[in-house]
């Protein structure tokens, strides 16, 4: 079984997170400050070098002001076409 960080679905998840960050006009550095994490944390999950767990995703969604349920529904819809 392929680790999910290497699937097209996870790649879509990363792209959507990057788009959400850019929509809020935050740089990686600015987002990392809001998350109280190093900038490398944001960089690594955006590049796919690090997976986000559910709790981390929920923290990120709160900072980015995105509804996690809507985000996941959109991911599911977009993943159908992958």
Q: Where are the domains of the chain?
A: 4-80
CA separation for the pair 82, 73 (Å, rounded)? 15
Place of tokens 């992958």: 82
Model confidence at 81, in pLDDT bands (50, 70, 90)?
A: low
CA separation for the pair 32, 73 (Å, rounded)? 25
CATH no. for 4-80: 1.10.260.40
CA separation for the pair 11, 26 (Å, rounded)? 20
Instruction: Using the predicted structure, report yes or no on whether residue 26 has a pLDDT greater than 60.
Output: yes
pTM: 0.88
**Residue 35 parent element (H or E):** helix 28-35
Could you report how far apart the first and last alpha carbons of the chain are, in Å? 18
The pLDDT tens digits for 31-72 are 999 999 999 999 999 999 999 999 999 999 999 999 999 999
């Amino acid at each position: 079984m392929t680790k999910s960080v290497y699937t097209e679905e996870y790649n879509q998840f990363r792209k959507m997170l990057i788009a959400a960050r850019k929509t809020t006009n935050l740089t990686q550095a600015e987002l990392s400050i809001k998350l109280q994490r190093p900038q490398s944390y944001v960089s690594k999950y955006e590049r796919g070098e690090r997976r986000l767990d559910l709790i981390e995703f929920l923290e990120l969604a709160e900072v980015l002001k995105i509804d996690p349920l809507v985000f996941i529904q959109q991911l599911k819809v977009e993943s159908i076409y992958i």
